[in-house]
Structure 1
Amino acid sequence: MASSNIVVAHADTGLITAEVVRAERISPNFVRLTIGGDDLARWRHLGFDQWFRLAMPVAGDATRFDRMSDRFDTRGYLKYLALPKATRPEIRNYTVRAFRPEAAEMDIDFVVHESSDPAHAGVAAPWATSLPIGDRVALIDQGCGYREVAGTDRVLLVGDETALPAVLGILRDLPAESTGHAIIEVPDAADRQAVTAPAGVDVQWIVRQPHARPGAQALDALRALPESAADGPVSAFIAGEQQLATGGRRHLVNERGVAKHAVDFCGYWRQS
């Protein structure tokens, strides 16, 4: 993560291993992997935008998870770096899209922008795009980023496609009496997903214009909201491309008078 005030909350469950049991290209820019296995029965399900460190087997069958730490704090990270590169998994941050405890299954959505330059394709997207059914993975639960502000049922949620699972998860698990606004920017109209949200929360989808900077239109939409959207106590969450996250927080705090502690924000990635 880049700029962020998201608190890392390590769970006592430690390292959990699973296997990719289903894989599907669900829209032009998203692949959904479903992981499962008996070890997932130990998962601490929190809902909302619960996120985790995902260790992926980019070294194929040679990848080993047994030498990883149960935590991804400084000590755990140094231990990870000391692992042999030939067997070391790659680790990235992801959000739980859905968890089904009765089946011990979890859905994870991956943004998979096509790139003509392999150097810019990253690690997770090519792996997910290969639809790697049968691959083993490992997870370290890191808690939730969204925090409800006491004394209000009003929310303000903003994200680009990388934050879509987080925003939709928060909407799904909000109290039924919640009110407010959610703004979600995606690169293609077909990337929009079904929304479960309180009736009092207005959900605005924005389809990004070709060649526009990711997150810029979502930030413009946030600035265009009526003053009443941030008038008084509100629980805000802004995530995605770095300029969207930091620019959105700056707008709410400096121009709308929202308290700093009421805005959870995270730059998931940075546009070069």
Structure 2
Amino acid sequence: MTDAPFQFFDVEVLRTERLTPAVARVVLGGASVSRMASAGRDQRVKLFLPHPGQREPVLPDTERADWYDAYRELDPAVRGVMRTYTVRELRGEAGELVIDFALHGDEAPAGAAGATAHDTGADVHGDAGTASGPATRWARAAGPGDRISVLAPVQEENGGYDFRPPEGTDWVLLTGDESALPAVAGILESLPPGLPTRVWIEVHDPADRQDLPTKADAEIVWLVHGTSPTTTEAIRAAELPAGTPYAWTAGEAATVKALRRHLVGERGFDRRAVKFSGYWRRGASEDSPMSAADAEEEA
């Protein structure tokens, strides 16, 4: 895999931080992290986590071109737990990779279950549902020296990100839930000064709102699940800017599907100007037959 755009990296936890009641930041490091690349925005990587009792994740020979087939042949109870996450920040010179984990299920704040963490149904970007999934459990217990593996890009231009507004875009619309917060944050940081941007983010607790720095002309609306209008309802009632839009929306697949129908069918957005990603769906996990592509098709 030496010349591949994505390569495996062995990393360890340097430190952790609880950003909000339901979001934990894990800073990973290693001698090879400086070789990683990122397009910023909504850059994805694959994390491979150990099972309880393992010092590091069990993987096949990752130098093999058919590593994924070999991985699938391993016993699921033994092989590393694979989850997709968005890079919150890559600090190449410092040798640090920052990943934010949404924490839900057991030990999560009241009302938080159902967004991004479960065993009975986990998302594409992490875990989601009513009981803590393996990624959430790992992030809660993570401490300095804990080892994982990461499949990450080594080329800045790669197929692991989706936010690609075409030339001629006059304004940007962003939506997401907790699972999409790192991507929304990365996108906002990447936008040029003054670009009109409208953002709707749904969380399960007002305490999970975060500062989202940007140079764009951004209006950010925080919605609280169960007490605020849904994202689609809020956008349906909103007055949107004039001009040519580009929309990026991610989160639970059914929500993304409803929003895309509104933007294309009711607002008249060009289908090609709406990037939608079902990061997770209730009842499906990254260990199940539903892949990232399946989630997007469902949306």
Structure 2 residue matching 1:78: 3-state secondary structure:
helix
Structure ranking higher in helix proportion: 1
- Verify the 8 A CA contact 1:15 1:70 in the aligned structure 2: no
Distance 1:219 1:271, change over 3 A: farther
Match of 2:144 among 133, 139, 155: 133
Pairing 1:25–2:18 present: yes
Pairing 1:225–2:242 present: no
Structure 1 residue matching 2:230: 3-state secondary structure:
helix
**Counterpart amino acid of residue 19 in structure 2:** I
Distance in 2, matches of 1:62 and 1:156, equals 40
Match of 1:155 among 172, 183, 189: 172
* RCO comparison, higher one (Cα < 8 Å, 6+): 1
**Counterpart amino acid of residue 261 in structure 1:** R
**Counterpart amino acid of residue 111 in structure 1:** A
Distance in 2, matches of 1:97 and 1:41, equals 16
Distance 1:62 1:49, change over 3 A: closer
- Verify the 8 A CA contact 1:63 1:86 in the aligned structure 2: no
Distance in 1, matches of 2:145 and 2:12, equals 6
Write the deviation string for residues 18-51 of structure 1: whole angstroms up to 9, x where unpaired. 1111112221111111101111111112111101
Tell me the matched-pair count: 254
Matches within 5 A, 1:71-86: 75-85=66-76
- Verify the 8 A CA contact 2:25 2:99 in the aligned structure 1: yes
- Verify the 8 A CA contact 1:57 1:135 in the aligned structure 2: no
Write the deviation string for residues 225-259 of structure 1: whole angstroms up to 9, x where unpaired. 21x33x44211100001122111111111111111
Q: Answer with 111-120 or 140-149: which moved more.
A: 111-120
Pairing 1:176–2:170 present: no
- Verify the 8 A CA contact 1:156 1:181 in the aligned structure 2: yes
Pairing 1:102–2:98 present: no
- Verify the 8 A CA contact 2:202 2:224 in the aligned structure 1: yes
Return the TM-score normalized by structure 2: 0.77
Q: Answer with 153-162 or 193-202: which moved more.
A: 193-202
Residue 68 of structure 1 and its aligned partner are, at CA, apart by: 3.3
Return the TM-score normalized by structure 1: 0.85
Instruction: Give the structure 2 partner of residue 166 of structure 1.
Output: 183
Pairing 1:202–2:215 present: no
Q: What's the C-alpha RMSD, in Å, of the aligned pairs?
A: 2.4
Pairing 1:68–2:81 present: no
Write the deviation string for residues 137-185 of structure 1: whole angstroms up to 9, x where unpaired. 1222352111112211410000011111111110011111311201111
Structure 2 residue matching 1:132: 3-state secondary structure:
coil
